[in-house]
A and B are shown apart, each in its own frame.
Chain A
């Protein structure tokens, strides 16, 4: 059994033995949403950060009693799982105002109060200016005080720098694995890479590092992703966690070689710069890392990033992923597709429901898009 089998199993499960063992050693599990919550702070407080996801979702019937059908299927499915007790192993959740749907998720979660410990809302500014950075710093300090009180600990600079070192190591390993896809022979598919991301974001960082080292060793030993790629793809967009969706993209002949999604480059690009003040370093990295569409003042930066990566990784086309009713991606996908067209980069917006149906029509769109891109060459 290769390490990728274990990774796939971890990716498809809500909880896992690593978390159970950590709990037995006295490390509680704290869920968090979005890429703007510094995991280092949760880790330094003695807990294991757990990236919230809807993996294994059985539907939205319970979530729909709190959300309207005009809310995105990510928040509806995650709440549904919470109400079914799937996250009862959590000791608390740090929510974040990523978008209004996520903001509402906090309200509904607090109101329905499933047995998942505390609910904390981290307010992150929607921009990257100096004023936003200062405000984000205040919010991180507030989160720090909350965690200290909650876990009866002190977030010393030493503890925080220790956590930063571990997470920087994890980022570096992920970066190296991601970079291996620059070559013509792609060692790992986009589906496998997403599995890796799903897995290492729900286990203690020390275990994640061990898993990544094994995965990297396999890649360095000459692993080849066997499917023949007709097209090299770059994927960006909002919440994307379904392995089945990337499988659909890749089974039609494409291979995802790079991305700018939350469970991808947005997570691991750019380390935290070690300096004098750990909270300032975390603030700088998390607020000013590769942004997501919620950051209204960085559309041009995101487009520039896509262009740069498309060229670096030799991608033939860009897939803009959007969940139905995603307020963040509605404008972004429109602007991106128009901007990319100016640079002669073909793109397609795929709108879907998280773990939803409509596979037949998606397949047709994907195949037609690939055929269109191939016609150009």
Chain B
């Protein structure tokens, strides 16, 4: 039996196929104009990877901001629950997840079954999210992928506000104008984002076995600075950390399938 999880986020669409508790296909790509177009396309890619047809999927679960707009999804779960279960699937020792996505960050505490015990999300402000990193990289004149590399070369982070993306951008512009080294500004940005995330983690009781997921988790400098800010070493994951939402959705698809087979209400 094959189960599909689709995560339509604000910047990327992801899909995962599960068979017998193993990931048999996965893919992520930038979102398209609509959630449906993104879902269609990313699903097409994983099906092609696995050499399957959509009819062969037993059940599909959607998550992410576009979760309610996917007609072929049989159920949906919030991205909070999906990140919880996805990371738990990837490493059973995980109990706390720091997820930094395109436009939100969340801290999720899970129990020994991967179910959410507590969570906190950022407010409407995008500071500290993937989108703000993208904007700051552009202001700094570097590719997003290079921002982390730049920051890792610095030992002297320059002060950058952690209050709001606009103030962060103004600080970066001012530092550039003052002729400061871009490496140190980049480092200032990653430290500032780390402080922002650290303040979010203070709102829940962190449980040992902390991991990081989401697109920003691929930025080595941000990861290093968050580890320093909250004083932990992140637990590694067996799968791409950007796929945790989709992976969790696929796990929920399997759970939902079993529940329906057992005669539970839908």
Contacts and interface: CB of A to CB of B under 8 A. Distances in A.
Interface of A: 351, 358, 360-361, 363-365, 367-368, 371-372, 375
Contacts of A365: 121
Contact of B104 (A351, A361, A372, A375): A361
Contacts of B117: 372, 375
Contacts of B77: 367, 371
Contacts of A372: 80-81, 115-119
A364 B68 CA distance: 11
Contacts of B256: none
Interface in B69-111: 77-81, 104, 111
Nearest to A358: B124
Contacts of A368: 78-81, 116, 119, 121
Interface of B: 65, 68, 77-81, 104, 111, 115-119, 121, 123-124
Q: Closest 7 interchain pairs by CB?
A: A368-B80, A368-B78, A367-B78, A375-B115, A372-B116, A371-B81, A358-B124
A361 B115 contact: no
Contacts of A361: 104, 121, 124
B121 A364 contact: yes
Contacts of A360: 65
Given A360-B65, A365-B121, A371 B80 contact: yes
Contacts of B115: 372, 375
B167 to A, nearest CB: 15
A351 B123 contact: yes
A50 B121 CA distance: 38
10 contacts: A361-B124, A363-B68, A364-B78, A365-B121, A367-B77, A368-B116, A368-B119, A371-B116, A372-B115, A375-B116
Majority-rule SS of A interface residues: helix
Given A363-B68, A372-B81, 13 more contacts: A364-B104, A365-B121, A367-B78, A368-B78, A368-B80, A368-B81, A368-B116, A368-B121, A372-B80, A372-B116, A372-B118, A372-B119, A375-B117
Nearest to B104: A361
A364 B79 contact: yes
Contacts of A364: 65, 78-80, 104, 121
Nearest to B122: A361
Contacts of B81: 368, 371-372
A223 B123 CA distance: 39
A368 B80 CA distance: 6
A3 to B, nearest CB: 32
Contact of B78 (A351, A358, A371): A371
A360 B8 CA distance: 13
Residue among B81, B111, B123 with most chain A CB within 10 A:
B81
A367 B76 CA distance: 10
Contacts of A375: 111, 115-117
Contacts of B116: 368, 371-372, 375
A220 to B, nearest CB: 29
Nearest to A364: B78
Nearest to A360: B65
A123 to B, nearest CB: 34
B149 to A, nearest CB: 31
A105 B79 CA distance: 40
Nearest to B79: A364
Contacts of A358: 124
Contacts of B78: 364, 367-368, 371
B4 to A, nearest CB: 19
A201 B123 CA distance: 33
B112 to A, nearest CB: 12
A157 B131 CA distance: 65
A365 B81 CA distance: 10
A351 B122 CA distance: 11
A361 B124 CA distance: 8
Contacts of B119: 368, 372
Nearest to A374: B115
A64 to B, nearest CB: 18
Nearest to A352: B124
Contacts of B65: 360, 364
Contacts of B68: 363
A351 B115 CA distance: 25
B114 to A, nearest CB: 10
A361 B68 CA distance: 13
A121 to B, nearest CB: 33
A319 to B, nearest CB: 15
A358 B79 CA distance: 16
A329 to B, nearest CB: 15
Nearest to B119: A368
A360 B123 CA distance: 12
Nearest to B117: A372
A351 B124 CA distance: 10
In this complex, the member of B68, B79, B104, B124 whose beta carbon has the largest number of chain A beta carbons within 10 angstroms is B124
A185 to B, nearest CB: 16
A328 to B, nearest CB: 18
A364 B78 CA distance: 6
B106 to A, nearest CB: 8
Nearest to A366: B78
A363 B80 CA distance: 12
B32 to A, nearest CB: 17
Max chain A C-beta neighbours (<10 A), residue from B65, B78, B116, B119: B78
Contacts of B121: 361, 364-365, 368
Contacts of A363: 68
